[in-house]
Amino acid sequence: MDTADDTVAPYVFKPSLAGGARQFELTDAGLAWQVGTRRGTWPYASIWAVQLSYRPVSMQPRQFRADIVGDGGPRLVVLSTTWKGFALVETQDEAYRAFIQALHRRIAAAGGHAAFHGGMRPIPYALASGVLIVFAIVMVALIARALATDAFMGALFLVALAAVFAWQIGGFMRRNKPCVYTPDRLPPQLLP
């Protein structure tokens, strides 16, 4: 396997303030990982699923996540952010992107049969979309009612609330639309 173009530094991140660091390295033998005291190496051909998603959290509203599943081990979670201090969560956009792209190239080169999925699972996505449609109908009805009763400040407040909600939740839903992808065409909305 020619991996000369896939040489990336080990990817290290700390998922929480209290937890230990997690380290992942792309080696000739496979994906070497260490999570706390557990460690292992998965040959690239034994990795059977990779799921990319966008997962903002309160301390870091721009966080990406990769879930990697292989034979005989735990589900590995790789985040694009790391805790640096009590109130500081830092992005690692370039390192995360390079690691994820190189991992996909190596899985493809190993000839594995991994499934590559992006975004949310289809059923939760459909349920969330349905809830959002109901929410939109209710908001339109409330705004119409406020305008009909000359409660212009209430209507303005509802419009502002709906706009902020649409901006936040709309971006999340757009990025996490379910998709199946190939290792050579990663979904750009799910990478920093």
pLDDT in tens, 100-124: 999 999 999 998 889 999 999 999 9
Look up the CATH number of domain 7-118.
2.30.29
Q: What pLDDT, in 10s, does the model give residues 17-63?
A: 787 889 999 999 999 999 988 899 999 999 999 999 999 877 677 89
* Tokens describing residue 128: 């969330």
DSSP string across the chain: ---GGG--PPEEE-SSSSSPPEEEEE-SS-EEEEETTEEEEE-GGGEEEEEEEE--BTTBSS-EEEEEEETTSPPEEEESEEEEETTEEEE-HHHHHHHHHHHHHHHHHTT---EEEESS-HHHHHHHHHHHHHHHHHHHHHHHHHHHTT-HHHHHHHHHHHHHHHHHHHHHHHHT--EE-BTTB--GGG--
**Distance, CA of 185 to chain centre:** 16
Residue 97 has pLDDT above 90, yes or no: yes
pTM of the model: 0.85
Distance between CA atoms of residues 135 and 180, nearest Å: 28
Q: Could you tell me the strand order of the sheet in which 76-79 lies?
A: 76-79, 64-70, 47-54, 115-118, 179-180
